[in-house]
Structure formats: C-alpha cells, structure tokens
Structure 1
Amino acid sequence: MSAGTRRLTAALAVAVSTLAGVVAGAASAQAETVSIHVAPNGDDNNPGTAEAPVATPAKAQQLARTQAAANNDVTVLLAGGTYRLAAPLVFTTADSGRGGHPVTWQAEAGQTPILSGGIRVTGWTLQDAGQNIWVAPVPQGAEARQLFVDGALAPRASIPIARDDVQITTTGMNILNPALRYLATLPQQNRIEVESQNSFTNRYAPVQSISGTTITMQQPAWNNNNWGYDTLARPFGGGQLFLENSYSFLRGTGQWYLDPQAGKLYYKAPAGWAPASHDVELPRLESLLHISGSYADPVHDITFEGLHFEHTTWLTPGTPVGYANQQSGTFIPTSYPMPGDFLSSCQSGCPQFEGARNGWAQVPAAVQVSAATAITFSGNTFTHLGQVALGIGNDANAHDSGIGLGASSITVDRNTFTESSGGAIVVGGVRPDAHHPANPAMVNKDITISNNTVNGVAKDYKEMAGILATYVTHAVITHNEVANLTYDGIDVGWGWGANDPGGSQDYRNRGLYNYQPVYTTPTTLRDTVVSYNRVHATKRLMHDGGSIYNLSANPGASIDHNHIYDNNRTVGLYLDEGSRYVNLSNNVIQDSGVWAFTNASGTNNTNDSTFAGNWYNGGSTAVATGPPHNNVLSGNVQVSGTNWPSGAQQVIAAAGVGGSTPPPTGTPIRAVGSGKCLDVNGGTTTAGTQLQIWDCNGASNQRWARTASGEFRVYNDTSPLCLDASGRGTTNGTQVVIWTCNGQNNQQWNVNANGAITGAQSGLCLDVSGAGTANGTKVQLWTCTGAANQQWRLG
C-alpha cells in the first residue's frame, strides 16, 4: 500500500464513526458497519461522527457513497428536526449497497427527522380586519397549489358555481348568471381555475382570460377535459363545479391565496388567530427523492426507515396542460386530433379519443422509485404532500430520472400515509411498455405493500384510490388499513381488457385497434394478492368504482380475507371490464349497496372469476354467471345484521395492520374439462402419492393454498404438503404428486391466462391423463396443447 493510500485510509477513518471500530479502508477484505450522523445543527465540514455530525442529507449521501463502494454496511442516522431540501435527493446505482451489504437511511432512535420540500411562512400582518385576512411575504415567483397549516391541508380560495350558471363551449364558458359578471374585473385571470368533481374523474382547467360574459380557457387543458368519458362538460353523475385561485374567492375560513408576482401569501384565518402560535408551510419542491438506476444496472439494497417525507406540490394542473383526468391519477398531457363537434359526439367516447389512450400520463410522486430492486421503506411517514406520496415503477413520464418501470423486490411496510393531495401508493405504469415491455427488465414484479396505514389521502385529486397497482407481476397488498377516501380503497389492474390476449370486442367497436395492435400474449399483470386488509370510510364523494377493485385479466389473483365496511352503500368487490381469473374468497363485506359486482357485457370479457366463501350482510349480488361469462358464485353466506359467524369474525380480527395471518385453508383447483377437482386420493398424507381428479366436495384434500413463491399447498392448516413434479421430472408423463415442501422449482407453478397451470421448472402443463373425466383419473405433466384437460380454474 502506498503512502498516499495510507493517508487516504486514515482520513476516512477519522471522517466516519463505526459501530465495530475504525474503518479499515476500501481495500479491506473485512466489511465494517459504518454510521454517518446528520443533524440540523451540524456542519457539512464535520466528519459525520456522533460528536460532529454533518448538517445536510446531501453531504451524508456523499460520505455514504464512499463507504458503500468499499463494501461496508452503511447506516445514515438522521437526528430529529427539519431538513429543508433545496433540491430532491437523487439516488443512483452509486448509492447502492454492495456485496450484500445494505445502505440504510434511518431516524436516530426516538427522533423524528423531516425531509421537507417547503418553507415556513412567517412575518404575518393583518391585511383585512373585517374579513380577518392576513398576509405574509414569500419569495417572489414562488408557486404552489398546496398550503399546510398546523399539519392540515388548507383549502385554496374557491367558490362553488352551479352548472347552469355557465354554458360550456369549445373555447371556454359563457357566463349565464349575472351575479358572476364581476369575474371580468378580476386581476390575474390566467391564475383562476375551474374544478369539476365528477363520477370517477376530478378535473382542473385554467382560465386564459375573461371579457364580458366570455371566459376563454387555456388549451389544450380545456379541450382535453371535455372529450372522452365523464367529462367536465357532461359528467356521468352530475358533480360540483368550482372556481378557484383568486383573492376575490377568499370567502371561507381557512382558505388561502398565493400571489407569486407580488411575493405575498394571503390567509383567511379563524377568529382569534395568532400567527406566532401556528406553523404554516408552503411547499416549494415537486418531489423529494428520486431513486433510479438503469435497466442494466438498477439501484439496489437501500432501506429508508423512520423518516418523514413532507411539503411538496405539483404544478402541472395550473399550466396549459391542466389536469384532464381520465381515471386514478392519469391525465391527457398534450393535444390530439379531435372531432370538431366533440362536445356532442365524444361525450361517451369516440374513435379519435382512443388514439389518445396510449399517451396518458401519470401523476408523479413525491418519492419516486424505478429501475430499482431490493428497496425497502419501513416505518416512515408520508404526509403534507401535493401529489402521489410514493410512486413505484410508474411510466417514465412520472419519473424525473426519465426512466420508468423496472421495479422489483420493493417492500413498503409499516408506513403511515396521510394528509396528501394524491393517492398514497401507485405501483406500475399504464403505457404499452408497462403491459408488454420492450425490455424484460422493465417488468414491475414482486412488490410487497404490508401493514401500512392509509388515512385521508387523495384530498385534491379525489379520483385516486388509497393504493393502486396497475401492471405488476406479483404484487402483494396485505394487512393494510385504508380509510377516509373520496374514491376507492385498493385498486389493481389497468386496461379494461383491451390489452389482454385477443383484445376486447368492446374496444374493437370503439376503434382502439386503429391505433394499437391486438396483443396475442398476456400482460405483465398476474398473481396479485390482496389479503387481510381493512378498507372502510371510502366512496365519500365519487360513486363509481369499488372498495376493492380489479381491472383486466389477472391470472392467479386472489382477493381474500379482507374486511370492507362503511363505503356509502356502494360496491364492495368490483370486477371491472375484462377482469378474468380472479379468485375472491373469505372476504367480509358489511353494509354495501352491491356486495359483489362484475361489469360484464357481451363484448368485454369480464369472465372466469370466482366469488367463494364470502360473508355479507346485505346488498345485491350483481355477478354474471353462466355462459359466456362463466363467473362462479360458490358458498357465499348472507348474515343478519352483524351476527358474523366465527369464520367471518376471525377475518375481521386478523384484517388490518398487525393482524396475524392464519395459514390459508386454500380453494379448489377445478379441472375445466371434467368439472372435477384436483384431489389427494383418500385424504392421504403419504409423500409421493400421485394426484387425481374427483367430484368436488370441499374437503381438505381438495383445498389448495397458493403461496407467494408459487407453491400450491394442501392441508395447509395442519401439516402442509406441496404440489410436486415427481423426481424433478421434466418429461411428458411425469407424475404430479404431493411431497414435503422444500422450496425447489419443481414445486413452483405458474397460473396462466389461458387456464393452464405450468411447472416453473419444466414449462410443462398440469394435465389430466388421457383427457379422462372419470373419478380417479391421474394427473401428470405434459406438453401444453391448449386442450380442455389442461385447463384449470382456481376457486
């Protein structure tokens, strides 16, 4: 080792404290555990020890990169206090843990570090004593759509208007109510916005100018908000209109208005308000963390624990783009060719509108994760955010890195999401690379969302669910509490069946396939698990959708053991257009208007799903059974009031954060060709017994529980055994048996969109020997043919 290298190693040892002693340097074969300390009263010239912490996360990141490159375990410890970021923190592959040694960013024990994108507003003076309007200076040019007062999202200055107060035109609105003519006298008219709260969309469009009784709106926001479905001009379910963001609209207590040109913030305070006693936070940044590598070299092995992410805004809705919302945080971001008479001809879709569908954008998140693997968020708080809180593998347009998708093995556990403008968590994208990726590394997969509290989010973009996962392979959403939402609780899937194999006749009729192919292969959406969640106090404003909702084919999906209640008597379990291969079992649905619903028509393939063993205490059943849809209702139980039987009570007790998950008892695997069930002969537990088909009887030897790793387990509530390719065989005729579960890939199975169950090791199909239909016919592996004796249905 050279003298220069020895001096460098010595310098590093001084710069960083360790839990195990002095750092040995980058060339050391023995990894150290390195701690880097950060505190608001620190100094970035300090070495980052406990006694001499650095002041900023950015400086800590520099030190952490050096230590990670030396294959050390690195922990960045943030002391309590507020860290006001001048720019988002950007995490690339340089920030990854190396050689199996993680990098952890976490709070000091018992302390609350806040990563803030905002400024605290002070210097208040009384502007209008009669109206109790106060004013404070802010940086000139500062722009924001949110303000947080004492930890709560404050409403912007706004007034409601009736829909018949105005007449919608292709360029804007004509004022019909004489009481609104004063609008033409207002200053800064191009900062005024129209908000329309609809059936399943929540739309924003900015004004350009007002002259006399003519309001001219900014484009393309106005046109894009007024064609397609559930438009601003013609919402499906009525809905309220508002005018927002003018000083003259400061009429309600708690409202605020920002004048960037003058650098002034106005607040209509409650009586007796004393500014020095209140915390007012104005967000400046549009995001806080960008975590993104590349598809070839994803960022990896980073954990964030015990941190608070706060104070962001999202400015796009106030620009000429507006917020031409389509559903669940998607919007049209640019202009498209439109029919000249779109206000009449395109209020429930039209062919040109289909041409815009693949260009929809997603709301970006405050914390963004893409091209990443083995990233964990644990015990954090996401609050006071002006858009989606956490975005995982969204389309590239929603990531400031410019790289979307590509998220795998991401864990979001025991976090709190509250008081934010958009949804809590959005996983996946909506554009073609999300459902049929050009690069396999783009696939979002193995995302776990567990034990999180989601309460009171989507406050500005009210059409967003608490948790949304679109095109994801194996998303597990379990033991969360999701509550107090204007729209849905948990939504999975995307695409309305239009991107599934063979397409959708509905979308063929609409003209979508003039603009995209009819795909012959499945999407990346599969193996979703939504289990043991407590979903309540949803649907507070928008009636469309459901408390738990699926969209499009989702092979291997299970929605089970969830407790749903207090949803404004709307839909509990909702399978929307194109939903297929979903098993919905052992859920408790309380006081829903419709407890189970399939949006099925002769053209949309909402088929082949099973509602089995659920409990409900009222509401209609609207499930399309029999040909051509072949959805199944089996063993569901209606109870009186809240006299839930013991099984339902166990679900209620186990659902939500921290609830224990009993071993799943499983569901039948039904052979389509015979109508019989996959069966262990005589209920034996002898390893090596070849499986057969038998009349379905619901006994434990016919109930198979699918695990997160792709196993099928029988007798799972006692001594589980696994569905196994005997002897790890990969040839036609290999016996399918029960065997002690061992985690090997001959015990892992894929459930495919065409009804086939294939071995992960062999790629061969689960096959009823000789296409037999008699009791006792044996089950084996065989080359996949697509025949009925190789098709199975779960549930």
Structure 2
Amino acid sequence: MFFVDPSGDDSGPGTLEHPFATLERARAAASPGTAITLRAGTYRLAEPLRLSAADSGVVYQAYGYGTAAQETVVISGGRRITGWREDANGAVTADVPGLATRQLYVSGRRAARAAIALDHGLTRTETGYVTGDLRPQSWPGQVEFVYRGVYPWSEARCQVAGITGDERSSAVTMAQPAFGWAVRLYHSVISWDGPGAGESNGADNPTSAENSPAFLTEGAFALADGVLHYLPRPGERLDEVVAPVLETLVHARDVRDVAFRGITFAEATWLRPSAPEGFLHYHGNGYHDGGPLQTVTFADGQAQVTIPGESAVMSGNVIFESCSRVTLEGCRFTRLGGVALEFRGDGEDNVLRDSVVDDVSGGGVVIGAGARRHRVENTHIHHIGRDYSGSPAMLVSGTTDTVVAHNQINDVPHNGIVVYEGSGAQLVHNLVHDTMQVLADGGGIYISGRQGGSYATGALVRGNVVRDTITPYNFGLYTDYGATWVTVQGNVVHKADKPVVLEVSPPLEHVAFIGNVWDADPGRPPEGVILAANTTLEGEAFGDDPTVADIVAGAGLR
C-alpha cells in the first residue's frame, strides 16, 4: 500500500508517515494488487493522470473510505486565481495571460458567464449580421453568440470574429468555418404540432451573446484578452477562485481491474466551443464538425431536417477507453466542463455506483459504442447541461447489455436518459424528474433506433418513474426515430406534455407498452406498436393508486 498527501514528498517511500505528494508518483510505484490511499486535500494536476495496461489491478481510494473517518479527496484540473484588483465600477480583474477556460468557480459556486439577450434586430449577411443598434460596437473581448433552439432540441455556439460600424449601424463578422457550417446545417423546414411546440430558428436568430466585460452582472465573469473580469456578489470573498484549465483529469486506456473509491473529480473545462469551428450542436452530446450533411424527409413529406452525416461528440473529463472491470464507487464528479464521465471504446463490466454527478457544463455519463455489460446504479445525476443545454444526464450508444438501475436523474435542460441504437439495454427502477427544462422535443427517457433482434434481446424500460417533464412538446417516455424491439413495462409517467408517443418517423416497430400508469390517454396504436393493460389516471387519482405507490417505492436511489 502507498499513501499520498498534497503536503507529502515524492522523494519519500510513500508510507503513511512519509507519503508521496502526487498521484503520478504513486502510479509509477504501484503494481497489480496495490492500494493507493489518498489523504485529505486537493490534488491539482498539471497534466492528466494517464493510465495504461501496465497500471491495471490498482485501487485508488480516499483514506478511511466507507467509514465515518473517510477524508475528502479532490482531484482537480483547476488553477487558483489571485491578484485581484478592483475597478471603478465595482468589478474586479486579474491578469491571467495564457489562461484558456470557459468556467469559473468562486468558493465552489459556479459563476455565470457574462451574457445578454440579443434583441438587436440582427439581419444575417454572408459573413455575419448587421443591425441598426450601435451597442455592439462597445462590446470588448472575445464575444460568443448562442443559438438556443436552432432546432427545438439543439443549441449552438459560434465565436464573433469582429465588430465594426459607424453612427448608423453595426456589422458583426462571425468566425469561420463555424458560421458557414451553421448556415448550411440549420436551414431545414420543420412543422411542429400543438401549442408551444417551438420553432426552428436557424442561423438567423442568435438568442444571446456571452463573454464580454460589457455584459457583467453580479456573480458573472468574462475572460477577455488575458484579463479575467468578475463582478462579486454583495459581501462575497475571493479567497478561493478557481478556473478549470485541464480538459482531461483522468484518461485510462486498456486497463483492467482498477477501482476509484471515494474520490471527487472536479474543475475541468472543454474548449471546443471557443475555437473558430464553434459548437454546432445537433443532438445529445453530438455536434457537426464540418463533414458531409444529409437531408431527412419525414411527416409524409411535410418536414425536412438536415443532419450531420457523422457527428463528433463532446469529450469526457474523465475517460475510460477500452477498459474492463473498472469500478467507480462512492465518487463525485462535479464542477466539470464537458461530459463528466465517459466509457469509450470496447470494454466489459465497468461499473459506476453509489456516486454523484452534478454541476456539469455538458453531459453527465456516456457509455459509448463497443461497451458490454456496463452498469450505472444507485447514482444521483443532477444539474447537468449547465452550459450546453442539449446535453443529456446519461447517454448510452452502441452498447450491449447496459444496465441503468435505481438512479435518480433530475434538473436537466433536455433529455434525462438517451439510448441510441444498440442491444439489450435495461433501464429499470430509475426516478427521472424535472427534465426538459430548456429545450423542446425530448423526454425524461428517450430511445431511438434498433435495440436488438427480438423482444428478448431488445431494450427493457421497466419500473421507472418519470415526472415533471417541463417544456412544451415533450414525451415522458419518448420512443423515437425508428425505435425497434423495445418493451416499456410497469412505469409511471406523470406531468409530461404527453406520456408517450406512438407515431413517429421512421415508424416504431415491435414496441410494446404494457402495464404502465400515466395521466393522459396516448391514443390508438399504429401497426408495429402494442398497447396492453395500461392505466390512465387523471388528477388526484394518481396519489391514491396502489400500483403507482408500489412503482414509486421501488424507483430511485436505494
């Protein structure tokens, strides 16, 4: 066993009395079967902790893990910001040459990125926008435009390259290639049914602008030309201000039988949206990276949508790539700027359990193509998508026999759980609430594509409680885009725009809704969809129903 302490010494033996100072020194000394015990404190990484096959068979754990004496251990990719000085307007500034970040944390609280709503009557041109408003000419810094609802389920970001003008108008030149890509991607014709279904705004209507000192409000920051600007809240101290600088905290590749227990992973960023290529979000954690586009026609030819031929994906701040039998237990993933935790590539039997994922700019947990028999259980995932509103709390894509069980997922701007094409996914006994808080056309649980070759090998959605799915045009349990071989059984769906959807394009095939309880009649099923023994309860009847009470009691954290 080796011990590590932030106040230790890497030249020492790594004992309890004379611990190492860094994770890297402990990693280099460890061999299979070694336990590395971390004493209390924050371990600020200068570069990611990289693990390879040679690092297999090692346990990283907080001192006293699983006991009342467990110590708080934080692995951080952040840099403390000091040297603040106050300006005449009450804001403070600090010189930070070379700093690249998109987040700031003050005493552990996420500071908002300075922003304003765009109500300037912008007219799109070949290179950007023109407006009769002269205010943009007084925006210093590296301004970024946000496009909320370019599609109702998407939110894009593009950098501003420059702003010029005269006494009559302002001209905004957008960064390329992002702007040109955005114009081509977000131009489809979409018709939406029902009130409040939303619009496709395309590239014509940026909804807000961020990251200029001119936009500062209390508790917000901007990073401009090597200077960090912040407007403190009343009485706020600046003793612990941290800017995340690393994009990756841990990247493990080809490791086996590794465990992390009782560790907090915190303060990492994701810089892609700040690049000239921007962040042209499409769905989930996917975005357009300049490749070929495809046009899909649906709704009997009445609607079209342009989609990336192949999406790039938001990267994880903690990555396990082609790893097997990795266990993450009693951990926390917080104050992160991309996807908090990503299982990437081929791997088997990895587990996340008894953990918390919260305060994340992008997605919560991703289990990607090639994964087999991964499990996420008894974990609370909340306040996800703080910066990138299309991000789901959990995304499962191209996997075999993934199990997502007894988790609580809440406070998400779009989908709670997303399952793309794969085989044998089981979503059982989860509590999913307060999703779809920002964007439209999604659900608490969203499944699309082929899920296997039969009901036996397909997806199972059972015993979940999905409630308070907030924005209009949503479905509590959303089977979409040719979902095939899906069993939706014994769930409770309450307070959604609609509990489920039965007709989509491409159509559903071999999708069975059996024994569910919901608060609105979904209508008659089309060919390919089975409705059997479901119950519609309205109003106060939900609270008095014993079946509902039984399902609710079995869902969520144990």
Normalising by structure 2, we get a TM-score of: 0.89
Asked whether the equivalents of residues 291 and 309 of structure 2 are also in contact (C-alpha less than 8 Å), the reply is no
Matched, 1:407 2:407: no
Asked whether the equivalents of residues 144 and 282 of structure 1 are also in contact (C-alpha less than 8 Å), the reply is yes
Name the residue aligned to 1:445: 372
Deviation per CA, 1:596-620: give whole Å up to 9, x if none.
Answer: 113424xx1321110000011x234
Matched, 1:357 2:309: yes
Asked whether the equivalents of residues 256 and 266 of structure 1 are also in contact (C-alpha less than 8 Å), the reply is yes
How far apart are the structure 2 equivalents of 1:336 and 1:492? 24
The structural deviation recorded for 1:182 is 3.2
Deviation per CA, 1:696-723: give whole Å up to 9, x if none.
Answer: xxxxxxxxxxxxxxxxxxxxxxxxxxxx
The structural deviation recorded for 1:227 is 3.0
Matched, 1:119 2:79: yes
Partner of 2:482, secondary structure, is coil
Closer, same or farther in 2 for the Cα pair 1:620/1:281, shift >3 Å?
A: farther
Partner of 2:543, secondary structure, is coil
Partner of 1:236, secondary structure, is coil
* Structure ranking higher in strand proportion: 2
How far apart are the structure 1 equivalents of 2:495 and 2:282? 29
Name the residue aligned to 2:194: none
Partner of 1:45, secondary structure, is coil
How far apart are the structure 2 equivalents of 1:159 and 1:620? 41
From 85, 104, 107, the equivalent of 2:62 is 107
Closer, same or farther in 2 for the Cα pair 1:161/1:187, shift >3 Å?
A: closer
From 216, 220, 224, the equivalent of 2:177 is 220
Matched, 1:612 2:530: no
Superposition pairs of residues 266-345 of structure 1, within 5 angstroms? 266-276=229-239, 279-293=240-254, 299-334=255-290, 336=292
Name the residue aligned to 2:94: 136
Closer, same or farther in 2 for the Cα pair 1:272/1:574, shift >3 Å?
A: same
From 485, 489, 500, the equivalent of 2:416 is 489
The structural deviation recorded for 1:274 is 3.3
Name the residue aligned to 2:47: 87
Asked whether the equivalents of residues 201 and 230 of structure 1 are also in contact (C-alpha less than 8 Å), the reply is no
Give the letter for the 2:498 counterpart.
Answer: V
Matched, 1:422 2:380: no
How far apart are the structure 2 equivalents of 1:561 and 1:223? 46
Name the residue aligned to 1:370: 321
The structural deviation recorded for 1:332 is 1.4
From 626, 635, 639, the equivalent of 2:533 is 635
Superposition pairs of residues 45-194 of structure 1, within 5 angstroms? 45-64=11-30, 67-68=31-32, 73-97=33-57, 103-109=58-64, 110-128=70-88, 131-138=89-96, 140-162=97-119, 165-176=121-132, 178=133, 181-188=134-141, 191-194=142-145
Partner of 1:485, secondary structure, is coil
Partner of 2:547, secondary structure, is helix
Asked whether the equivalents of residues 584 and 611 of structure 1 are also in contact (C-alpha less than 8 Å), the reply is yes
From 256, 276, 280, the equivalent of 2:221 is 256
Asked whether the equivalents of residues 408 and 445 of structure 1 are also in contact (C-alpha less than 8 Å), the reply is yes
How far apart are the structure 2 equivalents of 1:348 and 1:451? 41
The structural deviation recorded for 1:386 is 0.7
Give the letter for the 1:577 counterpart.
Answer: Y
The structural deviation recorded for 1:544 is 1.0
From 490, 498, 516, the equivalent of 1:586 is 490
How far apart are the structure 2 equivalents of 1:240 and 1:657? 39
Asked whether the equivalents of residues 117 and 310 of structure 1 are also in contact (C-alpha less than 8 Å), the reply is yes
How far apart are the structure 2 equivalents of 1:581 and 1:230? 33
Matched, 1:621 2:550: no
Deviation per CA, 1:388-425: give whole Å up to 9, x if none.
Answer: 100111xxxxxxxxxxx112211111110111101110
Give the letter for the 2:92 counterpart.
Answer: W
How far apart are the structure 2 equivalents of 1:169 and 1:160? 20
Name the residue aligned to 1:751: none
Closer, same or farther in 2 for the Cα pair 1:408/1:349, shift >3 Å?
A: farther
* Structure ranking higher in helix proportion: 1
Identical-pair percentage: 29
Deviation per CA, 1:339-370: give whole Å up to 9, x if none.
Answer: 9xxxxxxx9757xx56x412x21000100111
Give the letter for the 1:636 counterpart.
Answer: N
The answer for unaligned runs of 5 or more in structure 1 is 1-34, 98-102, 294-298, 340-346, 394-404, 429-433, 435-442, 495-524, 659-795
Asked whether the equivalents of residues 140 and 214 of structure 2 are also in contact (C-alpha less than 8 Å), the reply is no
Superposition pairs of residues 10-29 of structure 1, within 5 angstroms? none
Deviation per CA, 1:721-764: give whole Å up to 9, x if none.
Answer: xxxxxxxxxxxxxxxxxxxxxxxxxxxxxxxxxxxxxxxxxxxx
Asked whether the equivalents of residues 333 and 340 of structure 2 are also in contact (C-alpha less than 8 Å), the reply is yes
Asked whether the equivalents of residues 537 and 565 of structure 1 are also in contact (C-alpha less than 8 Å), the reply is yes
How far apart are the structure 1 equivalents of 2:100 and 2:55? 31
Name the residue aligned to 2:466: 564
From 643, 646, 650, the equivalent of 2:550 is 650
Superposition pairs of residues 537-576 of structure 1, within 5 angstroms? 537-555=434-452, 556-568=458-470, 570-576=474-480
Name the residue aligned to 2:298: none
Give the greater-gyration-radius structure (CA).
Answer: 1
The structural deviation recorded for 1:152 is 2.3
The structural deviation recorded for 1:623 is 6.2
How far apart are the structure 1 equivalents of 2:130 and 2:62? 55
- Between the two proteins, the alignment pairs up a number of residues equal to 523
